[in-house]
Structure 1
Amino acid sequence: MAGETRANVIPLHTNRGRVAARRRADQRAESARQHPSLLADPHGRASAEQIAAVVREIDEHRRAAAAGSAEAPLNELAQRVAAVAGFLRQRLTGDYTVDEFGFDPHFNAAIVRPLLRFFFRSWFRVEVSGVENLPSDGAALVVANHAGVLPFDGLMLSVAVHDEHPAQRDLRLLAADMVFDLPVVGEAARKAGHTMACTTDAHRLLAAGELTAVFPEGYKGLGKRFEDRYRLQRFGRGGFVTAALRTKAPIVPCSIIGSEEIYPMLTDVKLLARLFGLPYFPVTPLFPLAGPAGLVPLPSKWRIAFGEPIYTNDYSASDADDPMVTFELTDQVRETIQQTLYRLLAGRRNIFFG
């Protein structure tokens, strides 16, 4: 018709469009088969086959993880059995050494330290700082506060030095004479590398280049009442300073918090202490009322902080015999430990959680 414009008609190729659509559908199906989590159409719904494939894959991963976790205890058990077998072999063949103090490194590493690690890691959850202040080799004298009725602080200190220091050094504790008079305990203490707290033994250890620890408060610190917690007692006559000066060993102040709360000592029954030949007879909230259960330490949160070393190289040989020099150095160490204790306590929010 005149005046009308004819529209351009685009021809429809029906068969060709169906072939292309089929090809795209096949490609999507192939992609879905390659990994069930990849849907060809991100806005579409997954098919039942795809969902089942995803579930199967998840189950396979879960079974593999369960198998791995089941094998872990078996592997750990096998390692422990192998360690015990190795220990027995060495003990039977005599393939181990003991030094002049009775220190048996093999016994300490295989028996003593693994037992103490439970208390160190799981019970007291000890946090350690300042291990870089301990030398990697050579002599040093660690001086720490003492508390807790039973000397767990010395035991935890020895584990801290070995496990937290890169050199994994053995710490030699200077302990009270009574420890070595106790059956079994005294022999175990010797084998663990510890000896009596006297100037002579301290000098011998330091002269041999050993990392040594001393608790100058002695029984006064170990057996003080809970109301006096974290108040340092008198440091004695400074025998540890004399040993350090004579051997030119650095003195490392060490502050421990957490030990005062394991057995909160309410009072000391002096009559019973004299009767049993003990330095004190503690009464705590659980002991002796709870019997043997009262001997279980409370799980307080511990922190051990090693301070900067005090070097003794500039002191002369005669200074070791000068009471004024030893007193001044003893007081410096004591004040350093006390101030660090105050600082650590100020940052603690809870006795059991730190």
Structure 2
Amino acid sequence: MRGKTNQGDDAMTEARVIPIRGSRGPARTRRRDEDPRHRDDTARPSVVEAVAPPAPEEADETPPPGWEIALTEVLEFLRRRLAGDYAVDEFGFDAELADNLVLPALRPLYQKWFRVETIGMHHVPDTGGALLVANHSGTLPLDAMMSTVAVHDEHPARRHLRLLGADLMFRLPVAGSVARKSGATLACTPDAERLMSNGELVGVFPEGFKGIGKPFRDRYKLQRFGRGGFVSAALRTGVPIIPCAIVGAEETYPKIGDIAPLARLFGAPYFPITPTFPLLGPAGLVPLPSKWYIEFGEPIRTDDHTPADAEDPMLVFNLTDQVRETIQHTLYRLLSQRRNVFLG
């Protein structure tokens, strides 16, 4: 009887254990884990916890690719243009258009083709009005364009250079409109004074067409700086004058001749002949990849004078000559340091 009893007890024990482990074991285990009274901090996580996804705040956020960001910016720019949600100042300057279309179009020339290097950018003030005076050369006004990119991209304040241009530029069908929207305006004293009084950085090329259209044999020899109108404007507004020397522009389109009848026909100051134009046709319009340097000199202060001093012809002449000589000496120094026209 004892043997049977023991056998029956064993059978009953198995009958109790098998159903509990087979059907209710996992559920019991989960309930014990969820119950704080039975929680074991050193226990291994359950299967459910092991495969659970991380919390949203802990998930890795992969930034969108660059092309997607660029596309978003372009679409947003187009939306604002179509909706008319942009500002234009009294001179027609459209800063958003310049930053998103004009300057990006010029940067490949600036960075890859001419490989422009700037010197003395710390002389350009971060804020307030100033007058930047530079030499002009190269048959086409690429030096003005590259100066605009240099001031915007290399200066910590990313300032816009408001160029003063001849009336011929604004009469051109497309170029004139683009120039005005890029910040250029007519080279007249009232406009220059109003811009500088408003705290703008104004750029002027006093040589004008005499400088940009001079023969290649006269390269880097400054022409006459006019009557000093830019000095008078600086004296009336009390802004500093920043001499700027540009090396490299003379070699982009070496002018070796001029066809005067064609110049008169098109109403231009000259019709240039270069080693590649018009011999190679449209391909001759590609500028030579000379190495450029743009140096900004120490500002010449005018705030120690009164606006009435702008009417003193001797003072205006002396300051004009000082600016011209500063630029000329800087050109000679940069040229003496240059080893090769195309390699620098």
TM-score (norm 1): 0.78
Structure 2 residue 94 is the aligned partner of structure 1 residue 101: no
Structure 2 residue 262 is the aligned partner of structure 1 residue 289: no
Cα deviation for residue 133 of structure 1 reads 0.3
Cα deviation for residue 275 of structure 1 reads 1.8
Cα deviation for residue 221 of structure 1 reads 0.3
User: Secondary structure of 1:102's match?
Assistant: coil
Residues 39-118 of structure 1 correspond to what in structure 2 (within 5 A)?
Answer: 75-118=65-108
Q: Partners in 1 of 2:206 and 2:78 — Cα distance?
A: 38
Q: What is the aligned counterpart of 1:317 among 304, 307, 320? A: 307
Cα deviation for residue 84 of structure 1 reads 1.5
Q: Partners in 2 of 1:275 and 1:92 — Cα distance?
A: 39
Instruction: Kindly report structure 1 stretches of 4+ aligned residues shifted beyond 6 Å.
Output: none
Q: Partners in 1 of 2:307 and 2:100 — Cα distance?
A: 41
Aligned residue pair count: 282
Q: Partners in 2 of 1:349 and 1:239 — Cα distance?
A: 36
**CA-to-partner distance for each residue in 1:168-211, whole Å, 9 max, x for gaps?**
11110001111110111111111101101111111111111100
Structure 2 residue 163 is the aligned partner of structure 1 residue 163: no
**CA-to-partner distance for each residue in 1:233-264, whole Å, 9 max, x for gaps?**
00000000000000001000000000000000
**CA-to-partner distance for each residue in 1:3-51, whole Å, 9 max, x for gaps?**
xxxxxxxxxxxxxxxxxxxxxxxxxxxxxxxxxxxxxxxxxxxxxxxxx
Q: Partners in 2 of 1:316 and 1:102 — Cα distance?
A: 31
User: Secondary structure of 1:203's match?
Assistant: helix
Q: Partners in 2 of 1:203 and 1:162 — Cα distance?
A: 21
Residue equivalent to 1:17? none
Residue equivalent to 2:245? 255
Q: Partners in 2 of 1:324 and 1:149 — Cα distance?
A: 32
Amino acid at match of 2:127: D
Q: Partners in 2 of 1:254 and 1:243 — Cα distance?
A: 18
Cα deviation for residue 315 of structure 1 reads 1.2
Residues 238 and 307 in structure 2, CA contact (< 8 A), matched pair in contact too: no
Cα deviation for residue 316 of structure 1 reads 2.0
Q: What is the aligned counterpart of 2:121 among 124, 131, 143? A: 131
User: Secondary structure of 1:304's match?
Assistant: strand
Q: Which runs of 5+ in 1 are unaligned?
A: 1-71
Structure 2 residue 227 is the aligned partner of structure 1 residue 243: no
Q: What is the aligned counterpart of 1:269 among 233, 244, 259? A: 259
Residues 240 and 300 in structure 2, CA contact (< 8 A), matched pair in contact too: yes
Residue equivalent to 2:292? 302
Cα deviation for residue 284 of structure 1 reads 0.2
Q: Partners in 2 of 1:296 and 1:86 — Cα distance?
A: 33
Structure 2 residue 337 is the aligned partner of structure 1 residue 347: yes
Structure 2 residue 165 is the aligned partner of structure 1 residue 181: no
Residue equivalent to 2:50? none
Q: What is the aligned counterpart of 1:217 among 207, 210, 215? A: 207
Residue equivalent to 2:317? 327
Cα deviation for residue 83 of structure 1 reads 2.4
Residue equivalent to 1:24? none
Q: Partners in 1 of 2:182 and 2:294 — Cα distance?
A: 21
User: Secondary structure of 1:260's match?
Assistant: helix
RMSD of aligned residue pairs (Cα, Å): 1.2
Structure 2 residue 136 is the aligned partner of structure 1 residue 146: yes
Amino acid at match of 1:155: M
Cα deviation for residue 271 of structure 1 reads 2.0
Q: Partners in 1 of 2:180 and 2:278 — Cα distance?
A: 29
Q: Partners in 2 of 1:120 and 1:75 — Cα distance?
A: 26
Q: Partners in 1 of 2:222 and 2:72 — Cα distance?
A: 45
Q: Partners in 2 of 1:78 and 1:128 — Cα distance?
A: 32
Q: Partners in 2 of 1:76 and 1:340 — Cα distance?
A: 42
User: Secondary structure of 2:179's match?
Assistant: helix
TM-score (norm 2): 0.80
Instruction: Select the structure of larger CA radius of gyration.
Output: 2
Q: Partners in 1 of 2:215 and 2:66 — Cα distance?
A: 43
Q: Partners in 2 of 1:255 and 1:317 — Cα distance?
A: 27
Q: Partners in 2 of 1:142 and 1:176 — Cα distance?
A: 16
Stretch of structure 1 that moved more, 74-83 or 101-110: 74-83
Identical columns (%): 63
Q: Partners in 2 of 1:125 and 1:83 — Cα distance?
A: 27
Amino acid at match of 2:102: V
User: Secondary structure of 1:308's match?
Assistant: coil
Q: What is the aligned counterpart of 1:121 among 111, 114, 126? A: 111
